[in-house]
Amino acid sequence: MTAPFLLEARALVRRDARTATTLLDAADFALAAGERVLITGPSGSGKSVFMRALALLDPIDSGHVLWHGRDIDRHAIPRYRRSVAYVRQRPALVDGTVEDNLRYPYSLQAYRDARFDRDRAEQLSRAAGRGQDFLAKRAGDLSGGEAQVASLIRVLQLAPEVLLLDEPTASLDPESTRAIETLVADWFDADRSARASLWVSHDPAQVERIGGRRMTMHAGRLTAYKEVIE
């Protein structure tokens, strides 16, 4: 028996509540364990709309999102978001240090069964090329790249199954971009049999580096790319 997809979208439709303009047009998508999928397309084509719909952050007008082949009822949404993590372009950090931000998820009901592992946080920090003092830095003093690294570490320490990466390296310097790519690659390689990622990018060089299945978005329509990058 074939295992169900980790994540699946069936005919997702999203319209602008004010203008009734179609932002996402009956999008179908399936993500299997071990896959890396990249979405490219022009600005305003609906890529972020699609990602936020998959993350169940915005309402959809019709269609379904399935997790391990099942619909997600309201009570399962916190657990779903724990396993399917959305990483946006501009991270939101709380006041305090980087360590305070890494500890924050464990104060939420969905993570009450888990405990903060400082050794793991330091390991992830080193993998991103950060110094020993990184966890002690104040969030307000971080550069854009450092803030994105901290935000990604906060997600990765929770061991999600799926990463939804919505242009996480846009406007970052090359060093920070490579740090983000390294963290994601290490996370994926640690358990390819049970993890997958979906990455939105405008950078052709980044698409080549990451590899995987490619799709494109134009005017709210998601379609398969002609080639597969190995």
Give 129-141 pLDDT, tens digit per residue: 998 899 999 999 9
Kindly state the average pLDDT of the residues 176-190.
Answer: 94
> What was the pLDDT predicted at 230?
40
- How far, in Å, are 10, 133, 167, 208 from residue 214 at the CA level? 18, 38, 15, 10
User: How big is the chain, counted in residues?
Assistant: 230
The band of 229, judged by pLDDT with boundaries at 50, 70 and 90, is very low
Q: Which residue has the higher pLDDT, 17 or 228?
A: 17
The band of 92, judged by pLDDT with boundaries at 50, 70 and 90, is confident
Domain range summary for the chain, segments of one domain joined by +:
7-93+156-229
- Give the rounded percent of residues in the chain with a pLDDT score beyond 70: 97
Residue 120 has pLDDT above 50, yes or no: yes
> What was the pLDDT predicted at 2?
62
CATH class held by domain 7-93+156-229: alpha beta
> What was the pLDDT predicted at 226?
60
Residue 29 has pLDDT above 90, yes or no: yes
Kindly state the average pLDDT of the residues 176-200.
Answer: 94
| Backbone region of residue 178 per phi and psi (left: phi > 0; alpha: psi in -120 to 50; beta: other values) | alpha
> What was the pLDDT predicted at 224?
87
150, 131 in Cβ contact below 8 A?
A: no
Amino acid at 43: S
The band of 68, judged by pLDDT with boundaries at 50, 70 and 90, is very high
Average pLDDT, the chain: 92
> What was the pLDDT predicted at 228?
43
Task: Name which of 8, 187, 14 is nearest 87 in CA terms.
Answer: 187
What does the pLDDT look like over 190-206, one tens digit per residue?
Answer: 999 999 999 999 889 99
Q: Which residue has the higher pLDDT, 227 or 128?
A: 128
* pTM for this prediction: 0.92
- Give the rounded percent of residues in the chain with a pLDDT score beyond 90: 80
Residue 50 has pLDDT above 60, yes or no: yes
